[in-house]
C-alpha cells in the first residue's frame, strides 16, 4: 500500500534540477503537527511563495515531484511553508532535505543591485585592471555566499567586497583585497 509524501504529489520524472530551473531553497525541518515545513530559502525576503506557487520538489535521489507550495513568515527570520496534500507531521518529516525549484521564466526580474546566484557562474571577477578569474561555483554558507573562482581563490559576496555586477557584460567588480587565495 503506497504511503508517504510521494503518494500525495504528482511525479515529474527523474534527473534532478533541469537547466531551465533555479533552486530557490530546500525543506530544512518541520513545524508543528499539521504538516507545515520550515523552509530554507536562498532569498528569505522573496514573496513569490506567499500566494502559493507550483514548484518542483527534488528528493536527494533526483526524483522530481510537482506540488503547490505556500509560505508565510514565522518567528524571527523563519519561513514556514505548507504543501497541498501534506497535512501530517509524519509526512512532512519525510520532506526534510528536499530541494525546491522553479522554472527560471517564472522568477521576477532582479531589481538593481540584485542578482540570482546562478547568474554569477562564469562571470569574470576583477578589481580595476586586475583580473582574478571566473566564478565556477557558489557556496551557500549561511549568512554569506562565497564565490569560488577558477584560479582557486574565493570571494565572499558581501556589500563591502562586491562593488558592482554588470549582468550584460558578465563582470563582477570587487574591492581591492576582496579575493582570497587558499
Instruction: Spell out the domain ranges in the chain.
Output: 5-106, 117-181
Q: What is the pTM of this model?
A: 0.71
Confidence at residue 100, expressed as pLDDT on a 0 to 100 scale: 94
Q: Which CATH number fits domain 5-106: 1.10.1740.10, 3.50.50.60, 2.40.30.60, 1.20.1250.20?
A: 2.40.30.60
CATH number of 117-181: 2.30.30
| Rounded percentage of the chain residues whose pLDDT exceeds 90 | 51
Confidence at residue 1, expressed as pLDDT on a 0 to 100 scale: 29
Are 146 and 138 within 8 A, CB to CB?
A: yes
Amino acid at each position: 500500500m503506497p504511503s508517504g509524501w510521494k503518494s500525495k504529489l504528482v511525479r515529474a520524472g527523474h534527473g534532478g534540477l533541469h537547466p531551465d530551473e533555479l533552486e530557490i531553497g530546500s525543506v530544512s525541518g518541520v513545524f508543528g503537527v499539521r504538516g507545515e515545513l520550515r523552509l530554507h530559502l536562498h532569498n528569505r525576503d522573496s514573496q513569490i511563495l506567499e500566494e502559493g506557487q507550483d514548484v518542483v520538489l527534488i528528493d536527494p535521489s533526483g526524483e522530481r515531484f510537482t506540488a503547490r507550495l505556500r509560505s508565510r513568515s514565522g518567528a524571527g527570520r523563519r519561513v514556514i511553508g505548507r504543501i497541498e496534500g501534506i497535512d501530517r507531521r509524519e509526512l512532512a518529516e519525510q520532506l526534510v532535505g528536499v530541494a525546491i525549484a522553479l522554472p527560471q521564466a517564472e522568477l521576477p526580474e532582479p531589481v538593481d543591485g540584485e542578482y540570482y546566484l546562478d547568474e554569477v557562474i562564469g562571470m569574470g571577477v576583477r578589481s580595476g585592471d586586475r583580473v582574478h578569474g571566473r566564478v565556477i561555483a557558489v557556496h551557500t554558507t549561511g549568512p554569506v555566499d562565497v564565490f569560488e573562482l577558477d584560479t582557486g581563490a574565493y570571494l565572499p559576496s558581501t556589500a563591502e567586497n562586491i562593488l558592482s555586477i554588470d549582468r550584460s557584460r558578465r563582470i563582477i567588480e570587487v574591492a581591492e583585497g576582496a579575493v582570497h587565495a587558499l
